Amino acid sequence: MDVRSNLTPRRPLAALLVIATFTVTACGGSVAVNSNKAPDYTKRLDRVLIACPLDHLPNRIAEGFRTQLVAELKKRGTEARFAVLESALAIEKPPSLEQQAKDFNATTALIMRNAGGVVDSYGNRLQAKFDGEVWDLPLNKRIWRAQITFRLSGALTADDRLSKELLRTLVKDGLVEGPMPGETTAAEAPSGEQGPYRPPGT
């Protein structure tokens, strides 16, 4: 299967999708994720190739997003790798996404496309938007879609809100094992501490 073909828009599976919305606000900025998952898809993400152009984001945010997302997915049993994408000033063309997926033995692909945003009069990025999709590669089937709006906060020296909210949505939609970002399980809690409260029967 040619993963590159999945970079073009497809007809939405509106009749088959379950819709969820999550928003977090902190430190003068926010991330909103509207997601849709095919309800008949029950597998977890195993090995995922992530194709996401980040050239339009500040370096600190782009690098933090890559590092945090890969690390947090790994904690939850999902191996992830960011694909090498061709940049505007690249001398050599990177391998195709299909070849990179094959080399990584990826079973799924998370593809995020730039979908606009807001820039101030000085050229500073104030808001970034992405359209996201997850594809099951062996099935050649799109199983998840999302619209992501990220309002940046220039006062921060590090910003992991984008990775946290994307991960939170993937966990909530059942594509990634829990816990939610920021939660600590009883097994992970230091001696004498407990994990988050769970009501009886949950």
Query: How do residues 148-167 score in pLDDT, each as one tens digit?
Result: 887 766 544 345 777 888 99
Is residue 201 one of the residues assigned to a domain?
Answer: no
Is residue 184 one of the residues assigned to a domain?
Answer: no
Phi, psi (deg, nearest 5) at residue 172? -60, -35
Is residue 82 one of the residues assigned to a domain?
Answer: yes
- Please give the pLDDT value at position 111: 93
- Please give the pLDDT value at position 28: 38
Is residue 186 one of the residues assigned to a domain?
Answer: no
- Please give the pLDDT value at position 10: 43
Q: What count of other Cβ atoms lies within 10 Å of the Cβ of residue 112?
A: 18
**Average pLDDT of the chain, as a whole number:** 75
Look at the pTM and tell me if it is higher than 0.85: no
Structural tokens at position 111: 């593809």
Structural domains of the chain, count: 1
- Range of 143's domain? 3-172
Question: 179-202, pLDDT tens digit by residue?
Answer: 888 776 444 555 555 455 444 454
Structural tokens at position 38: 């095919």
How far, in whole angstroms, is CA 79 from its chain's centroid?
A: 13
Residue ranges in 4-58 assigned as alpha helix (H): none
CATH number for the domain that contains residue 119 = 3.40.50
Is residue 181 one of the residues assigned to a domain?
Answer: no
Is residue 188 one of the residues assigned to a domain?
Answer: no
Structural tokens at position 12: 């939405």
Is residue 65 one of the residues assigned to a domain?
Answer: yes
What is the chain's Cα-based Rg? 18
DSSP state string for 47-92: EEEEE---TTS-HHHHHHHHHHHHHHHHHTT-EEEEPP---TT-SS
Is residue 126 one of the residues assigned to a domain?
Answer: yes
